[in-house]
Amino acid sequence: MWRLAQPRFAPDIEGEGARLFGGRWNSAGVPLVYTSDSLALAALEVLVHLPRIERSKKGIPQYVAIGLDVPESLVADPGFASDVPLHESQTSGDAWLRSATSLALLVPSRVIPLERNVLLNPRHPAMAEVTVAVSEPFVFDDRLSY
């Protein structure tokens, strides 16, 4: 599983940003770690959420690519549809986090609905089994700025 983090927050697997601001699959106040099943999808997920000013010709900020090893047996796939409304996805995500039935949950990406993001519950006891396998500087190609 992959995520991109700003260098000052890397490896960023506590879910603090999602706790502070909420996200597609969690309400504010609930920690959650968003990852993707590929580095390319993680990059697109970052780009789509970057404010326009950060995608300007001044250059996209630098990140750290974080590759995580997560035991496959701890990943649940409930088969969510890609068009789940925001309030339903947050309700489902919050309920999953509270239940602690699995460490990780596969969910569809809104950026590429055929691809999957992977949610990690940072409060799940098995989070101790998650290891950082890769931590490398990541710089977006300047051609992605406008």
pLDDT tens sequence across 21-80: 999 999 999 999 999 999 999 999 999 999 888 877 677 889 999 999 999 999 999 999
Compute the distance between CA of residue 120 and CA of residue 1 in angstroms, rounded to an integer: 10
pLDDT tens sequence across 77-120: 999 999 999 999 999 999 999 999 999 999 999 999 999 999 99
Show the tokens assigned to 41: 């999808």
Domain annotation covers residue 35: yes
Compute the distance between CA of residue 97 and CA of residue 34 in angstroms, rounded to an integer: 13
Domain annotation covers residue 146: no
Domain annotation covers residue 145: no
Compute the distance between CA of residue 41 and CA of residue 31 in angstroms, rounded to an integer: 21
Number of domains the chain is built from: 1
Domain annotation covers residue 122: yes
Domain that holds residue 54: 2-140
3-class secondary structure, 10 = coil
Domain annotation covers residue 73: yes
| Average predicted confidence (pLDDT) for the chain | 94
